[in-house]
Amino acid sequence: MFHLKENGTNVKTELIAGITTFLTMVYIIIVNPVILHEAGVPVDQVFMATIISAVVGTLWMALCANYPIAVAPGMGLNAYFTYSVVLASEGKIDYLTAFSSVFVAGIIFIILSLTPLRAKLITAIPENLKRAITAGIGLFIAFLGLRMGKVIVANESNLVSLGDLTSPGVMLTLFGLIITVILIVRNVRGALFIGMVVTGIVAAFTGQLKIDHIIAKPHLPQGILIWNPLDAFGDVIHYGLYSVVFSFILVTLFDTTGTLVGIMKQAGLMKGNQLPRARKALLADSLGTTIGSMFGTSPTSAFIESSAGVAAGGRTGLTTLTVAILFIIASFFGPLVGAVSGVAAITSPTLVIVGTLMISSVKEIEWHQFDEAFPAFLIILIMPLTSSISTGIAFGFIAYPILKIVTGEAKKVHLLLYIFAILFAIQLFFLHH
């Protein structure tokens, strides 16, 4: 089924690769509930929804695409869901309505994945803007991590300032950050997860973490949240969440495609510039997003952490089947995750480090070409300052075609980008909620 011999691997290697990938990405079942709980979603609900979406997307990748790439709710979009969609609306949009936009994005994503449109969208967006989106989300996530850990706090005169470094919570955050960074530079597999475990142990000894139960039967407190497409599309239209849906689609589109290509090149499984079974693989994140939103989580994407499993020898879907099984086992540890999610210092260092990894894409931006650099800079600058991924994308996508027109390179801009620029301008000036 997995064609192990043809791919130069064996069962033992695939199982070890799967365990490696799981350890590098299991932090998401702790971090995701922490972020979405800020929007009012119960921790238990997000915990199980995270696992369900990860299992669905990863199993599809394993059984249908036969790829060693795992899928789970993506970092950045969970923060965007909470802070830019729900909290920024000041009570106008609750998390159920926001999940409607994720559900709609998932449905549209499935349609795009079944047609050539997904490939066209990828080629329509300039590389510099794609890199800027990744970098901007990285800064946004890192800023969020520092804010959650109270390392930086609100300040009326200067918006933000340094927090009280002597407070127990901040000291624990800094300790967790230092420990995790040391693990990473020492090339310890699963460094993010191990860092959270060590920080959690210290939190327990210092009285900041209290654990009553560790294992319990998996459950969904609110059951299925969204299931009717008509109601979901109705919510998007009623609240004007078009840019939200577009941002979910756009970021996931680049995130997953870039991850797929990068890891498949690493594994030596690309055929020239072609991605074998690409359409089947591209359905994994769209299915995970759609199913995940029904139970209560933000969009899924292919996890770059899968590269750790590939480095350990993973070459087939048996690697990701192992990951999916381990996620199912993890579903029994809900009470432990619930307790840990109440201590921001345990999870906030992970956000800072993930942000560090994502900001690295700035080195590939063509800074010597101002008409390419300025729109990219706007995206990177606006995202963290407005706590909105879509607003950052909007500024960059509006500026890019304008600069190309004035430099006489209007024909080099894809028609879709002009359409996006017009839609974003309308959204910013007339429909901004």
How many other C-beta atoms can be found within 10 angstroms of the C-beta atom of residue 16? 16
Q: 């230092």: which residue's tokens?
A: 178
Residue type, 102: V
Judging by beta carbons within 10 Å of its beta carbon (0-12, 13-18, 19+), is residue 90 exposed, middle or buried?
A: exposed
Q: What pLDDT was estimated at residue 258?
A: 75
Helix, strand, coil percentages for the chain (3-state, nearest 5): 70, 5, 25
Residue 74 is classified by DSSP as P
Quick one: pLDDT at residue 167?
95
Cross-strand partners of 162 = 152
Q: How far apart are CA 168 and CA 431, in angstroms?
A: 43
pLDDT at 304: 84
Q: Is the pLDDT of residue 234 over 90?
A: yes
Average model confidence (pLDDT) for the chain?
A: 91
Cβ within 8 Å of residue 411, ≥6 positions away? none
What is the average pLDDT across 283-305? 94
The whole-number pLDDT of residue 269 equals 80
For residues 201 and 196, give the distance between their C-alpha atoms in angstroms, rounded to a whole number: 9
Distances, alpha carbon 138 to alpha carbons 237, 309, 425, in Å:
30, 23, 24
What's residue 57's pLDDT? 97
pLDDT-based confidence at residue 28 (cuts at 50, 70, 90) = very high
SS3 300: strand
pTM summary value: 0.85
> What was the pLDDT predicted at 357?
87
- In this structure, of 156-160, 203-207, 411-415, the range with the lowest mean pLDDT score is 156-160
- What's the whole-number mean pLDDT along residues 247-254? 84
Average pLDDT over residues 63-83: 93
Q: Say whether pLDDT at 433 is over 60.
A: no
pLDDT at residue 123 is higher than 90: no
The confidence score (pLDDT) of residue 432 equals 56
Distance CA 70, CA 317 (A): 9
What pLDDT sits at residue 272?
67
pLDDT (average), residues 173-187: 95
Confirm if 232 and 289 have CB atoms less than 8 A apart. no
Q: What percentage of the chain reaches a pLDDT higher than 90?
A: 64
Instruction: Say if residue 313's pLDDT is above 50.
Output: yes
User: Which residues have CB under 8 Å from 415's CB, separation 6+?
Assistant: 124
Tell me the three state secondary structure of residue 72.
Answer: strand
